[in-house]
Amino acid sequence: MKIAVLVKRVPDTTSVFKIADDNASVVTDNLKYVMSPYDEYAMEAAIQLREAGQAEEVIVVSLGDESCKETMRTALAMGADSGLLVKCDGAGPTSRGVAEALAAALKNVGASLILAGKQAVDDDASQVAERIAELLDCPHASVVSRMELVGDTLTVDREIEGGKYTLELPLPAVVSIEKGINTPRYPTLPNIMKAKRKAIEEQDINALGLDAAVLASHITVEAMALPRQERLTNVLEGDNETRVATLVKALREEEKVL
């Protein structure tokens, strides 16, 4: 079985962001880019399936320009076997455009399982995996926190407010992964060295019969603004004992200072 893992190159969220003069885009100079953190969980899940003997090959798939290869090398250094870069220079496609391009490329990959992070941390759109499933006519589960493969059936837990769904999906399927499903491994030095020799195939979107301008045309960003920085005020309620317990819990779990 072959697993394809969709990986997106995104700015590190610890970067200092500035809005460009057009008021509708972000200044990208000097931003540090990383693999979207949710995609790391997807990568790890794929590698674990291969290590358990349930998959033979893990292919990392990304869309963008040449610079995406840097992020793909990280995935290869984590243990992916090969890469496929869907080349798309110029204006960034919308989520719909990305899904259309990736779905077109994935048709030729032959993956039985397509994994992705539950969302990318740059636009938080959470659309691409869902759209790809639709375009490929596959079942899809999102926000998955547990996954078990028996034969051609995948059993997953899907996180919902206050509980979880347990779903069964026949393969081929598309699954988007929630954090906490595993602990993504760090690239090891031997794997970093091996990653250099692993192939990253390139496929231009034009060769897939697609047009970058069209893929970018579904949405127009009119304006961007940085979030207002406000003091977060939280008035604790109840008797003293309850309020102290709530405060300690918040300091420990939310602020992580205890």
Partner 1 sequence: MAETFVSMRNLKFLIYELNNAEALCAYPYFEEHNREIFDLVLDTALKMGTDDLYPRFVEMDREQPTFDAGTISVNPWLREFMAACGEGGWIGANAPFEHGGQQIPDTVMVAFRFIFGAANYSASAYPFLGTGAALLMISFASRELIDTYVPNIFAGKWQGTMALTEPHAGSSLTDLKTTATRTDAGYFNLVGQKIFISCGEHNAVNNIVHLMIARIEDAPAGIKGISLFVVPKLRPCADGTLESNDLICTATFHKLGYKGAPITQLEMGEHGDCRAWLVGEENHGLSYMFQMMNEARVGVGAGATAIATAAYYASLEYTRERAQGRPITAKDPATPQIPIIEHADVKRMLLFQRAITEGSLSLIIYCSNLIDRIHAGPAEDKERLELLLDFLTPIAKTYPSEMGILSVSTGLQCLGGYGYCDEFPLEQLYRDIRIHPIHEGTTGIQGMDLLGRKVTMKNGQALMIYIEEITACIEKAKGVEAIAAEAQQLEEALAQLQQLTMHLGGLAMKGEIDLFLADATLYLEYVGIITMAWQWLWQATVSETALADCDTEGDTNFYMGKRYACHYFFRYELPKLQGLATRLQQSDGLTLSMQAKYFED
Nearer to partner 1, 37 or 139 (CB): 37
Nearer to partner 1, 9 or 140 (CB): 9
Nearest distance in Å: CB 61, partner 1: 19
> Phi and psi at residue 106, in whole multiples of 5°?
-65, -25
Find all residues with CB under 8 Å of 69, minimum gap 6, and list them: 83, 85, 200
CA dist 159 and 20 (Å) reads 37
CA dist 18 and 185 (Å) reads 32
Nearest distance in Å: CB 13, partner 1: 11
Nearest distance in Å: CB 168, partner 1: 34
CA dist 108 and 183 (Å) reads 31
Cα 204 to its chain centre, rounded Å, is 21
Of 103, 3, 2, 1, residue with least CA distance to 45: 3
Nearest distance in Å: CB 164, partner 1: 26
Nearer to partner 1, 202 or 211 (CB): 202
Nearest distance in Å: CB 74, partner 1: 6
Nearest distance in Å: CB 26, partner 1: 13
Q: What is the DSSP string of 183-202?
A: -PPPPPHHHHHHHTTS-EEE
Of 54, 90, 57, 78, residue with least CA distance to 213: 90
CA dist 172 and 174 (Å) reads 7
CA dist 121 and 85 (Å) reads 20
Nearer to partner 1, 62 or 74 (CB): 74
Q: Can you give the binding site for partner 1, defined by CB under 8 A?
A: 14, 27, 29-30, 32, 34, 70, 73-74, 77, 186-190, 192-193, 195-196
